[in-house]
Structure 1
Amino acid sequence: MSEHGAEAVSAGVDDSGHVEAGTPAYRRANLAMFVGGFATFAMLYGTQPILPMLRDAFTISPAAASLSVSAGTAALALFLIPASVLSDRIGRMRVMKASLTLAALVSLASPFVTGFDQLLALRALLGVALAGLPAAAMAYLGEEIAASAQGRAMGLYIAGNALGGMSGRFLSALVAEWSSWRVALAVLGVLGCIAAVVFWRSLPASRHFTARAAHPARILSDARSLLADKAMPWLFLTAFLLMGAFIGLYNYLGFRLMEAPFGLSQATIGAIFGLYLIGTWASAWGGQLADRHGRRNVLWIMVGVMAAGLAITVLQSLPVIIGGVAVFTFGFFAAHSVASGWVGRRAHERRALAAALYLTSYYLGASIIGTVSGLAWTSGGWNGVAAVLACCVLATLLLAGLHLRRMVPSGRD
């Protein structure tokens, strides 16, 4: 074996330098991306289960309280494309490491606000800081992981997102009940700092990154090429609808379960976010299933699962409602894993911009549909929220089942 070959084997990469499944480098990459995704979503959604507490603390409406979630997701959405362009210029690793570090510092400042406007400003700044990690993560995995293992790697990254979203919500609810919402946000900031250290120490070096000039003409040309693709625009719209429905459901689930006839406590509602564990498994499983059977054949089935779960939540039995949320959560994370992996596979050298456009759509859906769902809650309670979300899910099902599934399959599907 050549000296170069021996180094590649010891590093856990194949002859072309791509990280192979089952190697130390693959495990380190998965650890870093899992932890990065975990911290991103723990900090981003940490205010979601304590929205009723923020409503009472600042004397605001439920829809206004939900802006503490929407401000972060909207800012993240708006800065994903600039962050992806920056990652094309200076490298994925630099952008992701700086993103996670700055976000942890902003999160640590959040408990010290004196008014809701200050909290919103910091939540928006948190979204700006966090944008670099998801903008570059999909591109990094597409460039550095061997093609045969990309579905699993993407699934594990999204599993980290799911576990982080669950843990952040559960921790903030639990700590807030025992202490206060300020202490809860402080705990999330400390968690972000720990995750940043692990991420810096674990992520394998980038071997396939090639810097690309950040010229506006090149960016516009790349965007036009992506939008001309027969699948990309529909996948972006799918992301908008999927995430909007998901955030809308979880934003107002707590308000529903705190009211009669359920009357659950803050900590108990936080425990319901443990259903994200289902999403952790579903995202990894969805990626493997897509590798085996094709993304175009799996996506529409998972969206159908979401529709079934949403329908169950309109019933009035608490165990049945929780079961419906579990089914909905399973379908969402599996569908997101399949759709995001499909975007990375089709984009080739435009992976960073494609990931940014996908995630911009994703988080704009969270911000817009999440806020609209609040208006539906005010006017129609849970049935109003479910009606809005049903429109989103059914539209996604039409996209996935009728358009994307009927496309002529290619080597990238």
Structure 2
Amino acid sequence: MGAVATVSASAPKTVSAPKAASDSRMAPGGPGYRRMSLALFLAGVATFALLYSTQALLPLISGDFGSTASGASWTVAAATGALALFVLPMSALSERFGRRTVMTGSLAVAVTVGLLVPFAPSLGALVVLRAVQGAALAGVPASATAYLAEEVRPKALITAIGLFVAGNSVGGMSGRVVTGWVAQEWGWRVALGVLGVIAVGCAVAFRLLLPAPRHFAAGSLRPRVLVRTVKGHLSDPLLCRLYVIGALFMTVFGAVYTVIGYRLADAPFSLPQGVIGSIFLVYLVGTVSASTAGKLVGRLGRRGALYLAGGTTTAGLFVSLSDSLVLVLLGLVLITAGFFAGHAVASSSVSHTAKRGRAQASALYQSAYYVGSSAGSTLGAVAFHAGGWAGTVSLGLLAVAGVVAVTVAGSRAARVAARRGPVVVH
């Protein structure tokens, strides 16, 4: 910014437009920032509430359809897996037709399917509807981060993305709490119907609040251009490390929260469905940790923040092995705080690192992230079936070890780059 100001002073006519464009981007306290933050917060709420709407209800779905835990877990894995597959094509559409247009269309389709999900006649039909819903939601995450990268000043970017991730955590929490209590009284179908109506309200408010983009430049839909952009991102070692980190963090989170309902429904806890749903109030911790990710990076650096997030998640996994409900809840608090902090740091680093094709860069991150979610949901249920909660924890510890290993590799790569000269920014 300093260099731009200096040049502007010497040649105001030739560079004043870029300076004005930079100054016109949103920042905390500036015009449009609150509306934008609330709109994307609500989009995050609707996305995560719908995406994981069946997760807290898996024991009831298993009982209704006579399915195992691993079978019912496909209602989660199908949605996240479809999102992972479609997020890149959706990001390409957002490059051509605009971030706000794609997010609006995605939410419209997703909430419509959400109103149909409660009427699924079989587990297979439910899985198919959830897959369609996940594919529709794919337009939200990558488009949202690309919108923020274009419309928000760089110094405020991590904070803005942290607020969007915080909306994800509130959506995940509220969806599970609401469905848990409603399902206890009226069954899982009514619970999903109520959640669908809430998501409709969030989608409408999002469209009314989100400011029109001012810095979007339409790109090309040509496959050759898309392939070239994707290859460029995949050839960037830093971006690839961030993609792997996002996938591994989400593997832990997906495994833990897919299985926790079964564990708490069994002895020695034997909790009712409403209370199990209320356990997801722990997501509020994620809201705080995600929204403060910017300050964490400012103090510790990106890699330091990732080490802290990984260590916090590891501590939570070990604490959750206890048969004390209080300690299990403490473990979930630590796992949730570590996950959301790590996710916010990694996702914002992707947007900061990519200098072009930000939607594709974010889409690749989201794809890896939701592949991790799908893998965590499925493998977590398999591990629970094979070894109980200890099996699920073991899977989570392996994933966190992977996060640490990738972060260490990044630290070594940064030292090598520093010795060679300041040509690579990490």
For normalisation by structure 2, the TM-score amounts to 0.91
Is residue 182 of structure 1 aligned with residue 189 of structure 2? yes
In angstroms, what is the RMSD of aligned CA positions?
1.5
Q: Which amino acid aligns with 1:346?
A: T
- For residue 383 of structure 1, the aligned residue among 377, 387, 390 is 390
Can you list the C-alpha shifts for 1:295-341, whole angstroms capped at 9, x where unaligned? 23311221111111111111221111110110111010001000000
- CA deviations over 1:324-372 (Å, ceiling 9, x no partner): 1101110100010000000000012211001110010011111123201
Partner of 1:317: 324
Q: Following TM superposition, by how much is the alpha carbon of 1:246 offset from its aligned partner in structure 2, in angstroms?
A: 0.3
Task: Confirm or deny that 1:201 pairs with 2:202.
Answer: no
Shift of 1:292: 5.0
What does 1:157-306 correspond to in 2, within 5 Å?
157-291=164-298, 293-306=300-313
Q: Distance in 1 between matches of 2:372 and 2:163?
A: 23
SS of alignment partner, residue 405 of structure 1: helix
- How many aligned positions are there? 400
2:151 aligns with one of 102, 120, 144: 144
Native 8 Å contact 2:26 2:153 kept in 1 = yes
Structure 2 distance, partners of 1:206, 1:131, is 20
Structure 1 stretches of 4+ moved >3 Å = 13-16, 409-413
Tell me, yes or no, if the aligned pair for 1:51 and 1:66 is still in contact at 8 Å: yes
Q: Are 2:78 and 1:82 equivalent residues in the alignment?
A: no
Identity %: 41
Match of 1:30? 37
- Displacement of 1:215 in angstroms is 1.7
Q: Of residues 335, 346, 362 in structure 1, which corresponds to 2:342?
A: 335
Task: Please tell me whether the aligned partners of residues 297 and 405 of structure 1 are also in contact (alpha carbons under 8 angstroms).
Answer: no
> Corresponding residue for 2:411?
405
Q: Which has the larger radius of gyration?
A: 2
User: For the Cα contact (< 8 Å) 1:33–1:157, is it kept in 2?
Assistant: yes
Distance 2:21 2:269 in 1: 55
Verify the 8 A CA contact 2:58 2:69 in the aligned structure 1: yes
Query: TM-score, structure 1 length as denominator?
Result: 0.94
Match of 1:57 in 2: 64
Spell out, residue by residue over 1:246-304, the C-alpha distance to the aligned partner (whole angstroms, 9 max, x if none).
01001111111111111111111111100000000000111332245432331122111
Equivalent pair of 1:275/1:329 in contact (CA under 8 Å) = yes
Q: Deviations over 1:86-114 (max 9, x none)?
A: 00111111000111111111101111121
CA distance in 1, matches of 2:175, 2:127: 18
Asked whether the equivalents of residues 21 and 146 of structure 1 are also in contact (C-alpha less than 8 Å), the reply is no
Listed one character per residue, the Cα deviations across residues 30-87 of structure 1 (whole Å, up to 9, x for unaligned) are: 0010000001001111110110000000001100001111110001110000000100
Check conservation: 1:376, 1:384, Cα contact below 8 A.
yes
How far does the alpha carbon of each residue in 1:122-161 deviate from its partner, in whole angstroms, 9 at most, with x for none?
1011001111011201100000001111111011000000
Deviations 1:172-229 (A, max 9, x none): 1111001111111111110111011111111011111111112222112111211221
Give the letter aligned to residue 200 of structure 1: R
